[in-house]
């Protein structure tokens, strides 16, 4: 299994203010050591990290996938990845629109905005529980993005995790949306948890003792492809044991690479586009 390939599709850098705790350089260097093929940098409502990430990708040889996490006003998040340069421009325009609407340091975008700018974007829904809302969102995602719609499966290491992932995967199959595995990476190595907790405190404007449940409980550091595959395979086997059905999560992992390879416009064209968008 040492040859397993994995692309981390959900990496948050410290360009997501008070959310991420590691710089692009740290993340890419760690990814290179661990043998992660590519990192998708998805900062919250921002492409600000793309320039640094591009530089880091060039020095480390780990491929960069450009992306963005859009926190929609409807109360859920969608990860979007432009597949070519025009799509990247459209994403920039979408973000400008949201930022103009909401004022300084904020962004206000709704689902209709995303649909209007959807051309050339790959969309990954970040689900919570496999409930009615999630089904409705998946249906809308499927209608808007067609075969470019995906759903993120993230192991949270919480009670009932396996059942949750199992239900989500089933729901995705029913809605004909391909599931992909992400790790929701917020920092590059476990020791950075301190910084992570501190920035979370600052974000909530409380001391560490009062933070309590608002601590980023499932915050993950970068994981090696091997451990990701191991954990997800274990999970899928456990959930299928429970319900007597089989759900090969390995397909979800391989489709991670599939989603990545369709993000063609990631590495090279970004250099040309990035400086312009950095001014926004």
Partner 1 sequence: MTRLLSDKIETIEPGFGIEMMTLAAAVAEPLAAKQAVTDLVEEAEPDVSGLIDLLANRVGEQKLYRIAPVASDVPERSVQHIPAMAPETGAEWPGHWPRPSRLLAHPEPIDTVALLPDHPPVSFTWRGMRRRVKRADGPERVFGEWWKRDPELIAVRDYFRIEDDAGERYWVFRAGDGEDPLTGSQRWFLHGIFG
Query: In the complex, which residues of this chain contact partner 1 (CB under 8 A)?
Result: 157-163, 190-191, 193-194, 197, 208-209, 212-213, 215, 217-218, 227, 230-231, 234
DSSP state string for the chain: -TT---EEEEE--TTSTTT--S-HHHHHHHHHHHT--EEEEEEET--TTHHHHHHHHHHH-PEEEEEEEEEBTTS-EEEEEESSHHHHHHHHHHHHHHHHHH-TT---B-HHHHHHT-TTEEEEEE-SSSSHHHHHHHHHHHHHHGGGEEEEEE---STTHHHHHHHHHHHHHHTT-EEEEE--EEESSGGGHHHHHHHHHHHHT--HHHHGGGS-TT-EE---HHHHHHHHHHHHHHHHHHHS----HHHHHHHHHHHHHT-TTSHHHHHHHHHHHHT-
- Taking the least distance from each CB to partner 1, the nearer of 136 and 234 is 234
* Least gap, CB of 259 to partner 1 (angstroms): 25
- Taking the least distance from each CB to partner 1, the nearer of 35 and 110 is 35
* Least gap, CB of 132 to partner 1 (angstroms): 17
- Taking the least distance from each CB to partner 1, the nearer of 233 and 267 is 233
Among residues 114, 112, 74, 79, which one has the least CA distance to residue 94? 114
- Taking the least distance from each CB to partner 1, the nearer of 106 and 214 is 214
* Least gap, CB of 3 to partner 1 (angstroms): 20
* H or E element at residue 196: helix 193-204
* Least gap, CB of 235 to partner 1 (angstroms): 8
* Least gap, CB of 242 to partner 1 (angstroms): 8
* Distance, CA of 5 to CA of 38 (rounded, Å): 9
* Least gap, CB of 127 to partner 1 (angstroms): 16
* Least gap, CB of 234 to partner 1 (angstroms): 4
- Taking the least distance from each CB to partner 1, the nearer of 8 and 216 is 216
- Taking the least distance from each CB to partner 1, the nearer of 83 and 182 is 182
- Taking the least distance from each CB to partner 1, the nearer of 45 and 239 is 239
């Amino acid at each position: 299994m040492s040859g397993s390939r994995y692309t981390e599709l959900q990496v948050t850098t410290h360009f997501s203010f008070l959310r991420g705790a590691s710089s692009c350089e740290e993340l890419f260097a760690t990814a290179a050591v661990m043998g992660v093929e590519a990192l998708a940098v998805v900062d919250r409502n921002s492409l600000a990290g793309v320039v640094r990430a591009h530089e880091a990708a060039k020095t480390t040889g780990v491929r960069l996938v450009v992306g963005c996490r859009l926190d929609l006003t409807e109360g859920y998040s969608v990860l979007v990845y432009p597949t070519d340069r025009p799509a990247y421009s459209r994403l920039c325009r979408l973000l400008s629109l949201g930022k103009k609407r909401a004022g300084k340091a904020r962004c206000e975008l709704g689902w209709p905005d995303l649909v209007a700018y959807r051309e050339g974007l790959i969309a990954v829904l970040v689900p919570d529980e496999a409930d009615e809302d999630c089904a409705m969102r998946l249906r809308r995602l499927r209608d808007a993005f067609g075969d470019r719609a995906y759903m993120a499966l993230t192991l949270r290491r919480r009670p009932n995790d396996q059942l949750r992932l199992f239900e989500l995967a089933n729901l995705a199959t029913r809605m004909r949306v391909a599931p992909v595995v992400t790790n929701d990476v917020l920092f590059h190595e476990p020791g950075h948890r301190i910084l992570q907790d501190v920035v979370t405190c600052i974000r909530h404007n409380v001391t560490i003792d009062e933070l309590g449940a608002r601590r980023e409980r499932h915050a993950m550091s970068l994981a090696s492809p091997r451990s990701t595959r191991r954990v997800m395979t274990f999970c899928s086997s456990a959930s299928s044991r429970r319900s007597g059905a089989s759900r090969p999560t390995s397909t979800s992992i391989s489709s991670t690479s599939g989603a990545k390879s369709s993000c063609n416009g990631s590495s090279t064209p970004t250099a040309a586009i990035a400086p312009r968008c950095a001014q926004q």
